[in-house]
Amino acid sequence: MKTTKNDGFATRAIHAGEEPDFRDGATGDVVVPIHLSTTFARKKVSEPTGGYEYTRSLNPTRKALETKLAALEHAQYGLAFSSGLAAETTVLLSLLNPGDHIVAFDDLYGGTKRLINHVFSKYEYKVSYVDASDVSLVEKAIQPNTKLVWIESTSNPLLKLCYIQSVAEITRRNSLILVVDNTFLSPVFQKPLNIGADIVVHSSTKYIGGHSDVLGGAVLTSNATYYERLQYHQNAVGAVLSPFDSYLTLRGIKTLEVRLERHEKNALRIATYLSNHPKVKKVIYPGLASHPQHELAKRQSTGFGGVLSFEIAGEIREAEIFLEKLHLFALAESLGGVESLIEIPSVMTHASVAPEVRAETGITDTLIRISVGIEDVEDLIADLKQAIE
């Protein structure tokens, strides 16, 4: 029952990392057990049983998840962390040195910007933010001390895309490390390692976990040197995912593909509904022909994802009234769960971004972001309709 690279996505999502154990005394579980033990006994002083010594270093449940995640992203190696930011911290700590320079997408997740600007600034990491949807700006920002390029595709909340293959040509030519945060599209729709990325990071809190009940992060790579350093730091820093959270994430992944298909179908219907509504000024969704990078989205990924943003006509007060009148959409931050969430970035997720920066990047006061869930889309549209009217 060992899965291979030739197996389809759903087959790998269900079986990879969870082959039943038929050794003497084992019970052949089809679901990997939650190994809660923090330490593992051995019979012989110099022989750790099955390679296991202590859970921070290696745990069977977490290992099953790391194997499954690697299989999904077509990576050789996977590592699971206690949050997306813990995964990112470990990447930044293991691969960079004081004084190194990073080129990053200006529309990066706010927590990632905070980490680079306010935590790693202490270690004298330097950073240039550029609009990486224009690849030439990435190349122009490279300095002699640049080590790494960090992008997201799709970005948030403006849903800008980055032409990964083209950025990868630049990073390869300049011997830089290309990191892609693949949280928004998930490996169902996009596999950055196949198109030139060196490292993929995830907040598995979002689509991978998928049920808004488990925080987690992951790092995937096929580069043995990077993996060795990352794994060393995973153990040395210790921000690992717990066995129970590893189990919840494994469970979530089994339905990742069917969930994403439904998220996207619902998102496209809602995006189309909102685009035709007179009280909506503009809808941003890569699946709409009106999105400036719609062609790139079709070429680069196999789906457009489940998040869309739109601008409602009027002032912030109208936006607030609209949000508070909704019944089915929870007014909440985060994304990627089965339930629909709605939020207003200027007041919620992006409140910490300076107003001038928000205005410059296009995060207006009436911009609203929806993480479309997998409920019945007719019910979602009816709820939006009553609230908007």
Ligand X SMILES: *Cc1c(COP(=O)(O)O)cnc(C)c1O
CB of 180 to ligand X, least distance (A): 10
CB of 135 to ligand X, least distance (A): 20
CB of 160 to ligand X, least distance (A): 13
The residues binding ligand X (CB under 6 A) are: 83-85, 109, 111-112, 152, 156, 181, 183-184, 203, 205-206, 215, 217
Nearest residue relative to ligand X (C-beta): 84
CB of 86 to ligand X, least distance (A): 7
* 254 included as an active-site residue: no
Residue 48, strand partner residues: none
Q: Judged by CB, which is closer to ligand X: 59, or 112?
A: 112
Q: Which of 106, 107, 181, 245 is catalytic?
A: 181
CB of 82 to ligand X, least distance (A): 8
CB of 183 to ligand X, least distance (A): 4
Using CA atoms, how far apart are residues 286 and 299, in angstroms rounded to an integer? 12
Q: Judged by CB, which is closer to ligand X: 124, or 213?
A: 213
Q: Which of 62, 63, 206, 262 is catalytic?
A: 206
CA distances from 86 to 78, 114, 197, 343, 384 (A): 14, 13, 20, 24, 36
Q: Which of 77, 109, 125, 247 is catalytic?
A: 109
CB of 215 to ligand X, least distance (A): 5
Closest CA to 109 of 237, 202, 212, 187: 202
CB of 155 to ligand X, least distance (A): 8
Q: Judged by CB, which is closer to ligand X: 88, or 139?
A: 88
- Edge-first strand listing for the sheet containing 77-81: 77-81, 217-221, 199-203, 177-181, 146-152, 101-105, 126-130
Q: Judged by CB, which is closer to ligand X: 152, or 198?
A: 152
CA distances from 305 to 24, 34, 99, 211, 309 (A): 45, 31, 36, 16, 12
* 56 included as an active-site residue: yes
Give the chain's radius of gyration (CA, Å). Answer: 21
Q: Tokens in use for 24?
A: 């003497």
Any idea what DSSP says for residue 196?
T
Q: Judged by CB, which is closer to ligand X: 60, or 84?
A: 84
Q: Judged by CB, which is closer to ligand X: 115, or 130?
A: 115
Q: Judged by CB, which is closer to ligand X: 12, or 206?
A: 206
* 385 included as an active-site residue: no
Q: Which parts of the chain fold into alpha helices (H)? A: 9-15, 60-72, 84-95, 110-114, 135-140, 164-173, 186-189, 224-237, 243-253, 256-275, 294-300, 316-324, 355-361, 377-388
Pairing mode of beta strands 101-105, 280-284: unpaired
Q: Which of 7, 56, 298, 325 is catalytic?
A: 56
Residue 240, strand partner residues: 81
Pairing mode of beta strands 367-371, 341-343: antiparallel
Annotate 62-75 with b (16+ C-beta within 10 A) or e (fewer). bbbbbbbbbbbbbb
Closest CA to 335 of 185, 152, 163: 185
Residue 331, strand partner residues: 342
Q: Judged by CB, which is closer to ligand X: 96, or 313?
A: 96
- Residue-wise DSSP of 264-321: HHHHHHHHHHHHT-TTEEEEE-TTSTTSTTHHHHHHH-S---SEEEEEESS-HHHHHH
- What are the residue numbers of the active site? 56, 109, 181, 206
